[in-house]
Chains A and B, each alone.
Chain A
Amino acid sequence: DVKVTQSSRYLVKRTGEKVFLECVQDMDHENMFWYRQDPGLGLRLIYFSYDVKMKEKGDIPEGYSVSREKKERFSLILESASTNQTSMYLCASGRSRGEQYFGPGTRLTVT
């Protein structure tokens, strides 16, 4: 079974803090994704990586950066957290861009 794990299920951070969300997959997938999920807005793609050290901006990259130093790990970084980044963050991986396997999500609250 494909397994995608995320470092935390729940996280509370203060405004202005630097926040790291980690995602690890165990299926040697080339592609990894970070989404945020908000009520009424559905899932929106933040960043996508198709190989180690390679990344593409998604639909809402502002305020975020990513790092992929190893194939199995994809990190999402909030450089200076703000209250409007309070959300559910979902990581996914896949051999193709369509067939994706999701982690359980990290619910981030910024106060």
Chain B
Amino acid sequence: GEDVEQSLFLSVREGDSSVINCTYTDSSSTYLYWYKQEPGAGLQLLTYIFSNMDMKQDQRLTVLLNKKDKHLSLRIADTQTGDSAIYFCAGQNYGGSQGNLIFGKGTKLSVKP
């Protein structure tokens, strides 16, 4: 099954770019996801990328996928204090689009003014 790893903490200054990295083990996942959790709240789907894409851009968010290295990253441009949250990378267990999500442990992003 899928296993997802990500670093636990990232600290940036307001206005800088943030890059959150994730590695996964199951190369047959059809989609890979990024979720965001603000303090005291549930998770919110931020974006996802189809496995045959290398990059997806959505306003300030850029997702890069390197299938060869099984590496996924989320870049947040012009990071704001409101971006402070925990960011979870997720793949789907047993590949395809029918497996349940397997989440990384989350990267806590702190944005300093």
Chain A contact residues, CB within 8 Å of chain B: 4, 33, 40-43, 45, 48, 58, 90, 92, 96-105
Q: B41 — which chain A residues lie within 8 A by C-beta?
A: 104-105
Q: Are the CB atoms of B45 and A42 closer together than 8 Å? A: no
* A42: contacting residue among B33, B100, B104, CB under 8 A: B104
Q: Are the CB atoms of A102 and B44 closer together than 8 Å? A: yes
Q: B90 — which chain A residues lie within 8 A by C-beta?
A: 98
User: Interface code B99-112, partner A: CB below 8 Å = 1, 0 otherwise?
Assistant: 11101111000000
User: Interface code B75-113, partner A: CB below 8 Å = 1, 0 otherwise?
Assistant: 000000000000010101000011111011110000000
B50 CB to closest chain A CB, in angstroms?
11
Q: B33 — which chain A residues lie within 8 A by C-beta?
A: 98-99
Please count how many residues in chain B sit with their CB below 8 Å of the partner chain's CB atoms.
Answer: 21
Q: Are the CB atoms of B92 and A98 closer together than 8 Å? A: yes
Q: Are the CB atoms of A41 and B105 closer together than 8 Å? A: yes
A56 CB to closest chain B CB, in angstroms?
8
Q: Are the CB atoms of B101 and A100 closer together than 8 Å? A: yes
Q: A101 — which chain B residues lie within 8 A by C-beta?
A: 45
Q: Are the CB atoms of B103 and A42 closer together than 8 Å? A: yes
Q: B42 — which chain A residues lie within 8 A by C-beta?
A: 4, 90, 92, 102-105
- CA distance in complex: A97, B100 (Å): 6
Q: A48 — which chain B residues lie within 8 A by C-beta?
A: 100
* A43: contacting residue among B31, B88, B92, B98, CB under 8 A: B88
Offer 27 A-B interface pairs, CB within 8 angstroms, sorted by A: A4-B42, A42-B105, A42-B106, A43-B43, A43-B88, A43-B103, A45-B101, A48-B100, A90-B43, A92-B42, A92-B43, A97-B92, A97-B97, A97-B101, A98-B33, A98-B90, A98-B92, A98-B97, A99-B45, A100-B101, A101-B45, A102-B42, A102-B43, A102-B44, A104-B41, A104-B42, A105-B40
User: Interface code B24-46, partner A: CB below 8 Å = 1, 0 otherwise?
Assistant: 00000001010000001111110
